Amino acid sequence: MIREVELSQQARKDLSRVPVHIATKLQDWIEDVEDRGLEEVRKIAGYHDEPLHGKRRGERSIRLSKGYRAIYRIYKDHVEFVLIEEVTKHEY
């Protein structure tokens, strides 16, 4: 059961630039994973945990708000956030 969460250097940099409520939501997710384990936290609908596709295949994201998401990778014994990004409307 995975209960360890790490932040990449890029994710730490990104986190320093987001609004406080966004950073707080990510911290809540991290604490939930440390307490309950990744598999249980992924079931919580409010985080909108989803697998990514295309060039980000193999990574997952959680929604921190309508405008921000955090992207992470799962390793054997831990999760690593690789970046926190502002989400813009997709162009079709």
Question: pLDDT, tens digit, for every residue of 75-90?
Answer: 999 999 999 999 876 5
The tally of domains found in the chain comes to 1
59 part of a folded domain:
yes
Taking CB atoms within 8 Å and a gap of at least 24, the contacts of 32-40 are 33/2, 33/3, 33/5, 33/79, 34/3, 34/4, 34/5, 35/3, 37/1, 37/2, 37/3, 38/1, 38/2, 38/3, 38/74, 38/79, 39/1, 39/2
92 part of a folded domain:
no
Q: Which domain, by its residues, includes 28?
A: 5-86
91 part of a folded domain:
no
For the stretch 7-47, pLDDT in tens is 999 999 999 999 999 999 999 999 999 999 999 999 999 99
In this structure, what CATH number is given to the domain that contains residue 36? Answer: 3.30.2310.20
The pTM score is 0.90
